Amino acid sequence: MALIPGTTGNDRIQDTANPAVIYGGSGPDEIFGNGSADRIYGQSGADNIYGVAAGDLLWAEDSSIFDAGDNDVIISGASTWTILADTNGDTITDLTIFGLAGEIPNAGNIVL
């Protein structure tokens, strides 16, 4: 599994390995997985995360937009977040409802 680190600031990261572990770093990032079973960690900043294929782990700390294939695990610690596109068979967890992130518990905003 390839490791792809982001930097501080605005990154655009495209996974060319399959599968990969991608860290966005701080700042608003645009991160694209490639194939299945990627692990994408948006870290801080308003990130756009695109899982692309099925079976990805998508994690964001701040407000993020996810575009996921089937059977992904999607985790957010943000007080506001949106999932766009297919959530078929996905596991979606909002850490704010457990008091693990953010100040106001929030079930998230799912847009199908």
> Would you give per-residue pLDDT tens digits along the chain (112 residues)?
889 999 988 999 998 878 899 999 888 999 998 877 899 998 888 889 988 877 888 888 776 778 777 788 888 776 667 777 667 778 777 765 554 444 333 334 433 3
DSSP H or E stretch at residue 82: strand 82-84
CA–CA gap between residue 57 and residue 72 (Å, rounded): 6
Q: What pTM does this model have?
A: 0.77
Q: Look up the domain containing 17 and give its range.
A: 2-110
User: Which residue type occupies 51?
Assistant: G
- Looking at the structure of the chain, the number of domains it has is 1
